[in-house]
Amino acid sequence: MATPEYKPYESPYMLKAVHLAALAEKEREMEANISDLLIAKNEQTVALREENDRLREGLEGIKEEHDSLQRANWDYIMPFVLDALRGEVIEDGFGSSWSAYCAQCGEKTMQIVRPGKVQCAKCG
């Protein structure tokens, strides 16, 4: 009868060592993957912060433009509001009303030409 051949890699201790080495290698791979994911996350966070800052700057410009338009609209509307409060408004009888004062010359010379149209008696 032949004696069985001794295979050191099949011994229980050697199998445990191989298994532990494989687990250690797997752990190193997982740590490397985690590191890569953290680096990618940090890069993405930086990119998002830059985008956020860019959008905030754009929003500030929009706010400034909105405020200036609001002031300009108020400056345009205010004379009409004051005229209405003073009772210096002309109406065409069809639902339209205008300031009695001409926007160009500033005098109280506005006249109704026809429904929906007015003009200054002085400026034309």
Written as one letter, the residue type at 29 is E
- One domain, residues 61 and 108: no
Q: In terms of residue numbers, what domain contains 40?
A: 9-87
Look at 13 and 57; give whichever has higher pLDDT: 57
- Supply the pLDDT for residue 81: 73
- One domain, residues 21 and 60: yes
How many structural domains comprise the chain? 2
- One domain, residues 38 and 55: yes
> Average pLDDT of 114-118?
89
- Show Cβ contacts of residue 119 under 8 Å, excluding neighbours closer than 6 positions: 110, 111, 113
- One domain, residues 18 and 73: yes
Q: Which of the listed ranges 5-9, 43-47, 84-88, 101-105 does the model predict with the highest average pLDDT?
A: 43-47
> Average pLDDT of 33-37?
91
- Supply the pLDDT for residue 78: 75
- One domain, residues 60 and 99: no
Length of the chain: 124
Residue 1 forms part of a structural domain:
no
- One domain, residues 111 and 81: no
Look at 18 and 34; give whichever has higher pLDDT: 34
- Show Cβ contacts of residue 108 under 8 Å, excluding neighbours closer than 6 positions: 88, 100, 101, 102
Average pLDDT, the chain: 81
Residue 96 forms part of a structural domain:
yes
> Average pLDDT of 62-70?
80
- Supply the pLDDT for residue 104: 82
Residue 2 forms part of a structural domain:
no
> Average pLDDT of 101-114?
84
